């Protein structure tokens, strides 16, 4: 008797709720500062409250939402320390991964980066923020993926949703989306030319510029100025 092909089970309701809520948060449809009620969220999704509650607990564990006792939930807002800590981890991991690419030059498929950049260009033209963030995420994931350290990549994936949520305000800054695109193109050009030192420098410039934009976009500049004036 031949072996049976296993039946692919549909996603559980809590996974469906998690995906829908996560996309709404990272897409800016659920906004920081507004209070949301679990029951109303469940009603909008057309499912019971229990899977929504489970999804919210998972999103809270990832730092994307905050439970407010006896009131509801809010999309997380961030302090200057939050941004600095996330970017310290990001820079340490991404710069380290980029610095190792010289030893793996034969494995680099730069066409994947070009495709990501093309998606970013199209998203800018259409002011499509979710697609833009997705393409940006893929660009950085590909760069770090070539290094071949799955634990490093998993760690970056764990904080990437936080990075994207923090970056929502930065995307509204005039010219920032185009600037990111140009910064990515500089990295690609350096890699095409075999200039791995230049690629690391371009990535470092990009990450610093992104952190600055996040601080500006989330109105944390006053905290920076206060820290500098101490």
Can you give the CATH number for the domain in which 166 is found? 1.20.120.530
| Banded model confidence at residue 228, pLDDT cuts 50, 70, 90 | low
- 109 falls within a domain: yes
Residues 112 and 154 reside in one and the same domain:
yes
Q: Is the pLDDT of residue 37 over 50?
A: yes
**Total domain count, the chain:** 2
What is the per-residue pLDDT for 13?
87
- 5 falls within a domain: no
Can you give the CATH number for the domain in which 56 is found? 1.10.10.10
Decide: 218 and 135 in contact? Cβ < 8 Å.
no
Residues 32 and 104 reside in one and the same domain:
no
Q: Is the pLDDT of residue 227 over 70?
A: no
Residues 134 and 49 reside in one and the same domain:
no
Indicate the residue among 57, 75, 93 that finishes a domain: 75
Long-range contacts of residues 135-138, Cβ cutoff 8 Å, at least 24 apart: 136/180, 136/184, 137/164
- 195 falls within a domain: yes
Mean pLDDT computed over 98-125: 90
- 7 falls within a domain: no
Indicate the residue among 47, 75, 103 that finishes a domain: 75
Q: Write the CB contacts of 187 (distance below 8 Å, at least 6 apart in sequence).
A: 113, 143, 199, 202, 203, 206
pLDDT digits over 203-218, tens only? 999 999 999 999 998 7
What is the per-residue pLDDT for 76?
94
Residues 84 and 66 reside in one and the same domain:
no
Domain span holding position 151: 80-228
pLDDT, mean over the chain: 88
Q: Write the CB contacts of 57 (distance below 8 Å, at least 6 apart in sequence).
A: none
Mean pLDDT computed over 36-59: 93
Q: Write the CB contacts of 51 (distance below 8 Å, at least 6 apart in sequence).
A: 12, 13, 14, 16, 17, 42
Mean pLDDT computed over 3-24: 74
């Amino acid at each position: 008797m031949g072996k049976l092909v296993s039946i692919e089970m549909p996603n559980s309701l809590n996974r469906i709720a998690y995906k829908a809520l996560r996309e709404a948060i990272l897409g800016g449809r659920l906004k920081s500062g507004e209070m949301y009620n679990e029951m109303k969220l469940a009603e909008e999704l057309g499912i019971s409250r229990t899977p929504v509650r489970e999804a919210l607990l998972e999103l809270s564990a990832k730092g994307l939402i905050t439970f407010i006792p006896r009131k509801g939930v809010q999309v997380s807002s961030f302090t200057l320390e939050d941004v600095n800590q996330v970017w310290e981890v990001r820079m340490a991991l991404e710069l380290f991964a980029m610095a190792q690419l010289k030893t793996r030059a034969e494995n680099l498929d730069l066409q994947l980066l070009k495709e990501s950049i093309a998606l970013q260009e199209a998203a800018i033209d259409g002011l499509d923020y979710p697609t833009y963030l997705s393409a940006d995420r893929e660009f950085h994931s590909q760069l770090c993926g070539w290094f071949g350290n799955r634990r490093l990549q998993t760690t970056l994936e764990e904080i990437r949703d936080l990075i994207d949520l923090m970056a929502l305000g930065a995307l509204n800054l005039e010219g920032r989306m185009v600037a990111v695109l140009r910064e990515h193109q500089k990295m690609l050009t350096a890699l095409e030319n075999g200039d791995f030192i230049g690629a690391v420098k371009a990535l470092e410039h990009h990450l610093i510029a992104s952190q600055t934009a996040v601080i500006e976009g989330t109105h944390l500049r006053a905290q920076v100025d206060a820290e500098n004036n101490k």
